[in-house]
Amino acid sequence: MLQADTLIDIKNLQARYGDTVVLKDINFEVMHGEILAIIGGSGCGKTTLLRHMVGLVEPSKGSIVIDGDEITSGDEATFQRALQKIGILFQAGALFGSMTLAENVALPILQYTDLSPEAVSTLVRMKLCSVDLEGYEDHLPSEISGGMIKRASLARALALNPQILFLDEPTAGLDPVTSAEIEALILQINHSLRTTLVIITHSLSIIFKVAHRVIMLDKTVKGIIAQGDPKQLKTKSSDPVVRQFFNRQTKASENLPWQR
């Protein structure tokens, strides 16, 4: 039985590409207003799990329920209803290079609403202003920095005031100052709008400063090996793989005198 504040429910999910199983027996919930980080080493299936959660790929087994709508076995209308509740920030931003920032942000608004052109324009300006990009409406993605591209992509993800934001490596490739700005923006969105966030990341800064809870995947197990408060996992986990990740250790370094 689901808790009353469960927003996303994943049950017995299996992901595979051809004959290769990437994830199996994935079970977890995401609560309303939570910031959940999905973490793990390279190749463990983090982005694969994200792609399944937003309906880009259908799992070979299991179910995904978003705010009461099962997107894995429902009809197209059910899937579209769930889709309107989510926003997605892809790792590279995925802005259309031939369109201005305003045109990029306007895309989901034009697709899913019947607002007048004036209302769309006003809403676009508001969204860009909310990510500190006021005055950049007419710029192309090629004319702005990597950090600004991330923020513009976030503005597009927020265009329809989604209940849930999925962020794939939101600070990857950014300098420390810009990364800190993105982290602050994530916290602001969560606090002011009560938006639920699911973040794919390997950044310890996001994990410890932003995430309420983490789920850790492992390539060998092909599933979840730890979940909970990251600070607790760092200091109290008995799993060597978990310790190595949180303490940035290699297997060899665990045995060095200064790592004991």
CATH number of the domain that residue 78 is part of? 3.40.50.300
What does pTM read for this prediction? Answer: 0.87
Based on the fold, state whether residues 36 and 58 are members of the same structural domain.
yes
- As a whole-number percent, the residues of the chain with pLDDT over 90 amount to 55
Q: Which phi and psi (to 5°) does residue 186 adopt?
A: -60, -45
Question: What average pLDDT does range 51-56 have in this prediction?
Answer: 89
- Residue 259, pLDDT above cutoff 80: no
- Among the candidates 127, 161, 195, a domain finishes at 161
Please determine, for residue 241, whether its predicted confidence score (pLDDT) is greater than 80.
yes
| 179 falls within a domain | yes
Give CA–CA dist 257/163, Å, rounded: 48
Residue 257 lies in a domain: no
Residue 16 lies in a domain: yes
Residues 45-66: b if buried by 16+ CB within 10 A, e if exposed? bbebbbbbbbbeeebebbebbb
Whether 204 and 228 map to the same domain: the answer is: yes
pLDDT surpasses 50 at 239: yes
Within-domain flag for 181: yes
215's tokens: 């789920």
Q: How confident is the model at residue 3 (pLDDT cuts 50, 70, 90)?
A: low
pLDDT score, position 72? 85
Residue 16: φ, ψ to 5°: -145, 150
- The pLDDT, as a whole number, for residue 243 is 87
Q: How many domains does the chain have?
A: 2
For residue 194, being part of any structural domain is answered with yes
pLDDT of residue 256: 46
pLDDT at 249: 62
| Confidence at residue 112, expressed as pLDDT on a 0 to 100 scale | 85
Hey, what long-range contacts does 134-141 have (CB within 8 A, 24 or more apart)?
A: 136/101, 137/100, 137/101, 137/102, 138/100, 138/101, 138/102, 139/100, 139/101, 140/97, 140/98, 140/99, 140/100, 140/101, 141/93, 141/95, 141/96, 141/97, 141/101, 141/104
Supply the angle between the helices 146-157 and 117-130 in degrees, to the nearest 10: 130
Considering the chain, what is the average pLDDT of its residues?
88
Q: Are 120 and 217 members of one domain? A: no
Quick one: 177 and 125 in the same domain?
A: no
pLDDT band at residue 7 under the 50/70/90 scheme: very high
Q: Give the Cα separation of 25 and 10 in Å (integer).
A: 10
Residue 228: pLDDT band by 50, 70, 90 thresholds? Answer: very high
pLDDT band per the 50, 70, 90 thresholds, residue 90: confident
Instruction: Tell me the per-residue pLDDT of 143-168, one tens digit each, with 9 for 90 and over.
Output: 998 889 988 999 999 998 899 999 99
Residue-wise pLDDT for 17-49, tens only, equals 888 999 999 999 999 999 999 999 888 999 999
Is residue 118 domain-shared with residue 74, that is, in the same domain? no
Structure tokens of 73?
Answer: 């076995």
Which strands form 69-70's sheet, in the order they lie side by side? 20-31, 6-17, 61-66, 69-70
Same domain, 26 and 138: no
195-207 pLDDT per residue, tens: 999 999 988 999 9
Indicate whether 210 belongs to any domain: yes
Beta bridge partners of 85: none
Give me the domain span that covers residue 240: 1-85+171-249
Q: Which of 161, 184, 212 is the last residue of a domain?
A: 161
256 within some domain: no
Whether 81 and 175 map to the same domain: the answer is: yes
Q: Are residues 68 and 114 in the same domain?
A: no
24, 11 in Cβ contact below 8 A? Answer: no
Both 52 and 97 in one domain: the answer is no
Assess whether 64 and 183 both reside in one domain: yes
- Starting at the edge strand that comes first in sequence, how are the strands of the sheet with 213-218 ordered? 86-89, 164-168, 196-200, 35-39, 213-218, 223-228
Pairing of strands 35-39, 196-200: parallel
Which of these three, 137, 161, 185, is where a domain ends? 161
Specify whether 153 is located in the same domain as 213: no
Does residue 188 share a domain with residue 130?
no
For residue 123, the model assigns a pLDDT of: 93
Name the pLDDT band for 174 (thresholds 50, 70, 90): confident
Range 161-181 burial, b when 16+ CB lie within 10 A, else e: ebbbbbbbbbbeebeeebbeb
Residue 56 placed within a domain: yes
Count of beta carbons in the 10 Å neighbourhood of residue 147: 17
